[in-house]
Amino acid sequence: MLTLFATILCVLTLEPARPPAIPPRPNIVLILADDLGYGDLGCYGQQIIKTPNLDALAASGVRFTHAYSGSPVCAPSRCSILTGRHTGHSAIRDNKELADGQQPLPADSVTIASTLKNAGYATAAIGKWGLGIPGSSGDPAVHGFDHFFGYYCQRHAHNHYPTHLFHDGQRVELDGNAAKYDSGAVTGAVYAPDRFRASALAFIEQHRDRPFFLYFATTVPHLALQVPEDSLAQYKGVVEERPYTGGRGYIPHPNARAAYAAMVSRLDADVGALVSALNQLPPERDTLIIFTSDNGPTIDVGGADSTYFDSTAGLRGRKMDLYEGGIRVPLITAWVRAQVRGESAEPVASWDLFPTIARLCDAGPPADTDGIDLSGIIRADGDPPSREHLYWEYPSGGGWQAVRLANYKAVRRNTKANPDAPVELYDLDLDPAEANNIADSHPDIINRVRAIMSARRPAMLDEWNFK
């Protein structure tokens, strides 16, 4: 049904009029921010935080205004990106904490990396993984990555000045950082995101003469609030400050708002460094850069203040719920050399990235993905295939389900306690803040939504299922 409203939903103005010359088998750099809100970038309306590099990327590429993450939390969102499945079909549907990491991705999962590796691409994952530790079925090496550097465990990634990281399963010590996370050290000698940037730049240079896939899953601006002083100085005394005194497992910070803004700006600088390096590659090796976030901004804990920064750009909800603020995210695609500029209001989701990348790289995705190919928008040579709806589920918080059907968005809560819980309905064209529930006046749409919600496949863990 989305296609019936295409002329209403899709605002797509691309330049130039003719599709640019894009070489076959481009490099792919997929940049995933952590807990970055839809409204945290200047190109999405942010008024306080400076993001010149990402704003320039959006100006030279396509800015999607109705793009969604796969989940409102980390692990299932990353699973959705890498496997091309929404959370009604995916293997990982929630953050499941284990003693030494998170629930691992099953070994038989087909990912973007395994597909591109089979097509001759060099592959690397840098940053936060969260889908299994070394030696488990979720080890990045099992899923097509030649190289991994960063955090395997999401809890470990809550400290941006850790005592160690991992390189292909081997522990790498970071001398000069605090021995204990609860030591109260706001900074240390080695900032993990800086090491991620250096590792990514080395990978790009090492593979300058062959196609590569770089999954750059940085950990900022996720809590804890930690950033080097040179970035913090940009905002100290500029923002109206509210010190964070600690609690909820996060360290205090005397300049909490300045720290958050500085983390976003440092992420922006990292993107600028990657773009600069990609510009130095041979002219025949063009690169598609994809930038997005794993979910909406965090709730106001740990010193974060999404309200102050208007991180959802006025949308309802945040991380850990399925209202727009929890799952609508920035999505920018840009070629390093080919200019494809524009804006798209087509409703798209992170599970669309797998079939899109596979098509662009002539790698053929598996048949069992939920995504559609967006390469027509990204290359300015066609429209995306039609589809009826987008679907999400989130087992925590009592059990959530959501459906986007054309301009309508349906949300159902507390489904674990009540399988027949009422369905809320919002018209996003008229009510983007999801303030006016119009379910009672659209029984036909509610019936269709309930049928979609019932069509989910059982999850591999019973605790993720609805009764």
What pLDDT digit, counting tens, does each position of 209-258 carry? Answer: 999 999 999 999 999 999 999 999 999 999 999 899 887 778 899 999 99
Which residue intervals of 30-129 are DSSP H helices?
Answer: 52-60, 74-83, 112-118
pLDDT of residue 419: 86
How open is the CA angle 245-249-252, to the nearest 5 degrees? 25
What CATH number does the domain located at 390-464 have?
Answer: 3.30.1120.10
Report the SS3 class of residue 182: helix
Least Cα distance to 400 among 386, 416, 376, 383 occurs for: 416
How open is the CA angle 461-218-281, to the nearest 5 degrees? 125
In this model, does residue 111 exceed pLDDT 50?
yes
Domain boundaries defined on the chain: 2-16+24-379, 390-464
Fold equal for 2-16+24-379 and 390-464: no
Report which of residues 66 and 365 the model is more confident about: 66
pTM, to two decimals:
0.95
Whole-number Å distance between alpha carbons of 467 and 457: 13
pLDDT of residue 59: 97
- The identity of residue 428, as a single letter, is L
What pLDDT digit, counting tens, does each position of 124-161 carry? Answer: 999 999 999 999 999 999 999 999 999 999 999 999 99
Whole-number Å distance between alpha carbons of 154 and 147: 19
Q: How confident is the model at residue 14 (pLDDT cuts 50, 70, 90)?
A: very low
**Superfamily (CATH H level) for 2-16+24-379:** Alkaline Phosphatase, subunit A (3.40.720.10)
The rounded radius of gyration (Å) of the Cα atoms in the chain is 21
Buried b or exposed e, range 123-153, using 16+ CB within 10 angstroms: bbbbbbbbbbbbebbbbbebbbbbbbbbbbb
First-to-last alpha carbon distance for the chain, in angstroms, is 29
